[in-house]
């Protein structure tokens, strides 16, 4: 037989525990803190320890989020965050590349003027000019480095064909 007191206790609203959110869910601030540690490159286990969250809870928010509260998985947020960083880095790299290309083109123009004025084709000037031309082509995206495909040899390849 079930006691009336126990049924009354079940019907009462749960008291909010300090440091926890709705129905003992961790608050959004804790999830954001965990995200910050993960974005800094910390391992999930260490990030959970730093944020004072159990590893299982941290893993749940990392993989699943909390659909009821509209919290997306942290791995999704991390991917978005890293893509934004990559975009910003690409823009900065592109700006730097264009700046270097302009400098190389100015240096080449000065070398051409010197060659026209002196009317002498000295070997050091030509070597430097050749290097600058190659650099200009590379910076403008016209030259790529050749990569050789390396294939792992099997025992049959090394032993030869015995047929």
pLDDT for residue 59: 93
- CA atoms 70, 76, 77, 83: torsion sign: negative
Q: What is the DSSP letter of 125?
A: H
pLDDT for residue 45: 93
- Rounded CA separation 38/32 (Å): 10
- Rounded CA separation 8/103 (Å): 81
Q: Mean pLDDT in the chain?
A: 79
pLDDT (tens digit per residue) in 66-75: 888 888 899 9
- Rounded CA separation 81/55 (Å): 22
Asked if pLDDT for residue 80 goes beyond 70, the answer is yes
What is the token pair recorded at 118? Answer: 């002196």
Q: What is the pTM of this model?
A: 0.48
| DSSP 3-state of 26 | coil
> Quick one: CA torsion of 110, 114, 116, 120, rounded to 10 degrees?
-140
- Rounded CA separation 83/72 (Å): 16
DSSP 28-76: HHHHHHHHHHHHTT--HHHHHHHTT--HHHHHHHHHT-BGGGTBPPHHH
pLDDT for residue 43: 93
pLDDT (tens digit per residue) in 19-34: 555 556 788 888 899 9
- Please tell me the number of Cα atoms within 13 Å of 66 on its side-chain side: 15
pLDDT for residue 161: 55
What is the token pair recorded at 161? Answer: 């064909």
Q: Find the range with the poorest average confidence among 37-51, 112-126, 142-156.
A: 142-156
Mean pLDDT computed over 33-46: 91
């Amino acid at each position: 037989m079930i006691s009336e007191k126990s049924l009354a206790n079940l019907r009462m609203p749960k008291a909010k525990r300090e440091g926890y959110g709705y129905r003992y869910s961790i608050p959004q601030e804790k999830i954001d803190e965990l995200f910050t540690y993960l974005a800094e490159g910390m391992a999930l286990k260490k990030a959970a320890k730093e944020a004072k969250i159990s590893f299982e809870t941290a893993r749940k928010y990392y993989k699943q989020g909390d659909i009821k509260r509209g919290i997306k998985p942290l791995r999704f947020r991390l991917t978005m965050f890293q893509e934004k960083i990559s975009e910003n880095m690409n823009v900065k790299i592109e700006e730097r590349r264009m700046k270097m290309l302009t400098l190389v083109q100015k240096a080449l123009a000065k070398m051409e003027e010197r060659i026209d004025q002196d009317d002498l084709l000295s070997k050091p000037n030509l070597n430097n000019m050749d290097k600058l031309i190659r650099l200009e082509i590379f910076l403008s995206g016209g030259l790529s480095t050749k990569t050789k495909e390396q294939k792992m040899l099997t025992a049959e390849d090394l032993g030869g064909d015995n047929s």
